[in-house]
Amino acid sequence: MVNVAFELGNQVQEELEYSKNIDSIQYDSLLITGMGGSGISGDVLSLLSNEVSTKSIIVRKSYSIPKKIKETNPFCLFISYSGNTEETLSGLQDAIENNLDWAVISSGGKLIDHAIEHNKEYIKIPDGLQPRAAFGYLTQAVCKMVDVVEGTNYLKDLRNGDRNFSDPLMKDAIDAYANLVASGWTNSTALSLNYSELQQTFLNGEGAMYPMGSFFAGAVPLDHPFEIGVFPMPALDGSPRLVTYTSGGPAVSALTEHPEEARKFAVEFSTNVKTNADDLFRDAHIPNNKNFDLERDMKGYELHPLIFEIIEILQTPGLKHVPFFTFEVGDYALLPGMQSEVFANSQEILSGTSTAEIIDNLNSKLLELQ
């Protein structure tokens, strides 16, 4: 089972073959057609999208597209590992006849042929497997086709040089931060305090709100003299967002002389419920281990009520997720050297530097690093 899990992990990371304009896909309504093992990745995306996106994603496993769905003018994504699944090809023909935009994911066959013939986008994955054994490839391809986390297209474009800090998405955010500073809603001594001093200032009751990660709960004494609550970070329109990021976690060096032993250690370290429980108790790091049971595995530990509030927020149905800007890794990470520039200019906002000057500073650094 561990080997299967690592094979899936390798599939998710392996470079696939993309058509040249794959990143240009935009949609408000998405229809995914895929049968059997090929269609499972679509089911996964649909489940994820219910938590992190307002966009409509429908998964169908049939020969045709219903009239009511056609009327919404969806973007159609057809998935068939072999590329020759009868039902999927029939659905594709229906989309073509009704002038719907579409793309395909396959290891080859007629689906890829049709995409090339009609100048449509596609992702080609390695062949020679059973569809269910290619789940990692299919899932990576689906996620590449359609970002379900808000802001990820911008972050990828920023890294790739297709957009910069003058984008309205970034300008509006900087303006909002600058307005908070100008209105006196920030701590005037913030730049003179280090991490632990700022945290203690809040614990002393000298601040009303403290933007911080879940791990802050681990620093709150059980006998703290006043109640502290938690709420999701609001977007500019006031609606709540769950800010998350992918941390480093255990990693296995590609140069290790003992890859299997290192992998076993990494798996054991990550999935050991006692380790998870200790980490939750000490640092309020919320485990993502599916085998971890809060009620069962935290017996004997006394957790601060704030931790339970945080977990309740994490489990809120429909709460949108956004990447943690400057801390994300992989495709959504800033270019090496850009993070420190963002931090420095964030401090400049606290000093009253204008949005225009901040954007100029960031764009200059971005050009230097590209």
Please give the pLDDT value at position 9: 43
Beta-strand runs (E) in the chain: 17-18, 29-34, 56-60, 75-79, 102-106, 121-124, 233-234, 240-244, 320-323
Which stretches of 150-281 are assigned E, i.e. beta strand?
233-234, 240-244
- The pLDDT of residue 200 is above 80: yes
Residue 223 pLDDT greater than 80, yes or no = yes
Question: Which of 31-35, 39-43, 55-59, 135-139 has the highest mean predicted lDDT (pLDDT)?
Answer: 31-35
How big is the chain by its Cα radius of gyration, in Å? 24
From CA 56, how far away is CA 33, in angstroms rounded?
Answer: 14
Query: Which tokens go with 294?
Result: 């809060």
Predicted local distance difference test score (pLDDT) of residue 356 = 92
pLDDT higher than 50, residue 277: yes
pLDDT at 247: 62
Question: Which among 124-133, 309-318, 333-342 has the top mean pLDDT?
Answer: 333-342
The token pair at 304 is 């601060």
- H helices of 183-272, in order, are 195-203, 259-271
Strands 17-18 and 102-106, by their bridges, are unpaired
| Average pLDDT value over all residues in the chain | 81
Cα(100)–Cα(123) distance, rounded to whole angstroms?
Answer: 19
The predicted-structure confidence for 63-103, as pLDDT tens digits, reads as follows 888 888 888 888 898 988 888 999 999 999 999 999 998 88
Contact indicator for 359, 165 with CB cutoff of 8 Å: yes
Mean pLDDT of 306-324: 80
Beta-ladder partners of 76? 31, 102
**So what's the pLDDT on residue 146?**
66
The SS3 assignment for 125 reads coil
Residues in contact with 7: Cβ distance below 8 Å, sequence separation at least 6, in sequence order? 136
Q: Can you give 287-325 as a three-state secondary structure string?
A: CCCCCCCHHHHCCCCCCCHHHHHHHHHHCCCCCEEEECC
The conformation of residue 331, written as its DSSP 8-state character, comes to G
pLDDT over 90 for what percent of the chain? 21
Sorted by where each starts, the structural domains of the chain and their CATH numbers stand as 2-148 (3.40.50.10490)
Other CB atoms closer than 10 Å to residue 302's CB: what's the count?
7
Nearest to 325 by CA among 341, 310, 309: 341
